[in-house]
Structure 1
């Protein structure tokens, strides 16, 4: 791998930074501290993302026919790094950019692509993902939400939990079981469900990670046309594999972690506490974790840029990003505990809150470790 950026890459990064400097408001720190699922940040992203799209900086890596510019995967990750370093002003729309849009472009019918992709490319759509369930957690093969065929429709009943952004979402990327209860992975289908139709109830879950970020979502006899199904019955697992590989490496939190760590060390210098060997050792360890996460993510980007399929590398990168997040927030909590009280250092508190969910979103870290054990280390299953 060539670790140096090209002149074109540097110019693109400068272009993104200039845009953020110009377009982010003076009170952005206050808006962003509420979390991507808050009403404040959701309303902001619906104003900000159309501007980003108009500047060619929302989906430049997408095909031209769907509003992109056919730019290389590296620009996608430069864009993601700068957005996350700034507190992710795209809000929930980063999911559209990273994986929902590309999944629909690859697996959707012409009608589905035409209905949903243009509004994503224009920065006008909020989606949520209906994956985890109360009795299944991150084990999607055990999900129990049912979609029963009734003529030209499906009737969906069940519940989801930890549904990010559901309170303000326009649509849900929903997994439901169409096969028998014991059909496992083979009995699952994906449905593109408008959140405004009757029978859907959303309840916010109070949490430390932001206002309105996560929810319980209940589906009671929700009727959707068969045309809302993405792919065939039983095809969901292969589609989800493609989607999650994009999502797991599409959130460069390490960039935010590294910049927050720099701010923490700067504050310790101001206090005259940065010369401590213990502080320096722990700061170095946290910085190394950020760089390890960066390089593992870059490895997956490099494979994608070469057109090679992703395997367990995506899970390795995902775990490394979570560990970097936690290393930085643990450093701050140990050496700057007072900085997490009050409003003096909103970036520290916002990073700490986001780090709580890093090991859960896009597949729990424990699930990723299991995938690494089987697919990377070739270890036997525990029940073998």
Structure 2
């Protein structure tokens, strides 16, 4: 197996790095410290992403008909690695490029595609996803928000929680129940300025403006806002999440932070200690394991294979890499996690706290690995006895 990048791929990396060096302001680490959903980073993304689009680097993997240039999946992923290592200047718009746009292309009507994809491709769109609820976190089958049909409309009532980016989003990728069971879930593309929607920020240790409660009180949307058919949502969600769970190259940010810390320890003559070096090596191994598992998912995607449990394995590995680097920071740079002296390390630490929860809890990922990869029975030995 050849793990070398081609000359063209290496040139693409250098092109992205040059653009970042040119466009990121001197205080970028302080801006990105507050998370991709913060007002400062979201506002920056709305200025930065159009520049990416003008360079053909925002959605190159999209079809030319939708604003891309039919580039291979690997090109998009190389760009994503470099952007995420830099602190993700796309802000919440990474969702558009990684999975919402692709999902609309696969399941959306021509009218929906014409309405939403051009702004995504131009770097002007901010979306949120209305998945989790107070009594339905990673268990989407338990969601209770209702969308009741009324002629050519639906009336939506319910609430969502932990909704990233809702405070500045223009549109919500919303899950709501039209009937009982998994088959009774539908997806709606809901403008956030629709009457009846209330957004409340949730104070949090992690991020600043990242998460919210969203309430839907007699929110009326046309039937044309439904993505796919009633009962088709489960397949659409599976497709979208398979792209979302590896779309973030979190390990690239972890590796950058680890390298920064090792450089600092070396400068302080503290890296000669064998125990320190061993912990650094373990963190590096975790980053590399995550990277290679994610590469396997990208390779499957590039070859047109259907989503598999490898994406769940990769997601678990990414979480472990985040935690390994965060543990290294706690062991050797605890003072950097107080105040704002070292924003890069502090930002990583806060994001690592949420790594095992966002995009589906790590425990849910492990259940999916057990079911879909190892094909283990659901019942435990104790239950069978």
Whether TM exceeds 0.5 here: the answer is yes
CA distance in 1, matches of 2:5, 2:42: 33
Which residue of 1 is the match for residue 158 of structure 2? 158
CA distance in 1, matches of 2:158, 2:350: 29
SS for the counterpart of 1:88 is: coil
CA distance in 2, matches of 1:133, 1:343: 33
Which residue of 2 is the match for residue 45 of structure 1? 45
Which residue of 1 is the match for residue 177 of structure 2? 177
SS for the counterpart of 2:348 is: helix
Unaligned runs of 5+ in 1: none
Cα deviation, 1:263-316, whole Å, max 9, x if unaligned, reads 111111122211111101100000000000000000111111111112100000
Structure 1 segments, 4+ long, off by >6 Å, are none
Which residue of 1 is the match for residue 60 of structure 2? 60
Cα distance, 1:343 vs structure 2: 2.7
Cα deviation, 1:53-79, whole Å, max 9, x if unaligned, reads 011110011110111111111111101
Question: 5 Å matches for 1:183-202?
Answer: 183-202=180-199
CA distance in 2, matches of 1:250, 1:235: 23
CA distance in 2, matches of 1:10, 1:42: 29
SS for the counterpart of 1:166 is: coil
Which residue of 1 is the match for residue 330 of structure 2? 333
Tell whether 2:98 aligns with 1:98.
Answer: yes
Cα deviation, 1:117-176, whole Å, max 9, x if unaligned, reads 000000000000000111011100110000000111000000111100001100000000
Cα distance, 1:382 vs structure 2: 2.9
Question: 5 Å matches for 1:27-176?
Answer: 27-176=27-176
Aligned partner of 1:269 among 266, 270, 286: 266
Which residue of 2 is the match for residue 289 of structure 1? 286
CA distance in 1, matches of 2:65, 2:261: 44
TM-score relative to the length of structure 2: 0.98
CA distance in 2, matches of 1:209, 1:355: 9
Tell whether 2:323 aligns with 1:313.
Answer: no
Cα deviation, 1:200-232, whole Å, max 9, x if unaligned, reads 111111111111000111101100000000000
Cα deviation, 1:175-211, whole Å, max 9, x if unaligned, reads 00001xxx22110000000000111111111111111
Which residue of 2 is the match for residue 254 of structure 1? 251
CA distance in 2, matches of 1:161, 1:39: 19
CA distance in 2, matches of 1:27, 1:281: 33
CA distance in 1, matches of 2:117, 2:176: 22
Which residue of 1 is the match for residue 224 of structure 2? 227
CA distance in 2, matches of 1:272, 1:18: 32
Aligned partner of 1:205 among 202, 206, 209: 202
CA RMSD of aligned residues (A): 0.9
Unaligned runs of 5+ in 2: none
CA distance in 2, matches of 1:304, 1:127: 24
TM-score relative to the length of structure 1: 0.98
Tell whether 2:351 aligns with 1:354.
Answer: yes
SS for the counterpart of 1:168 is: coil
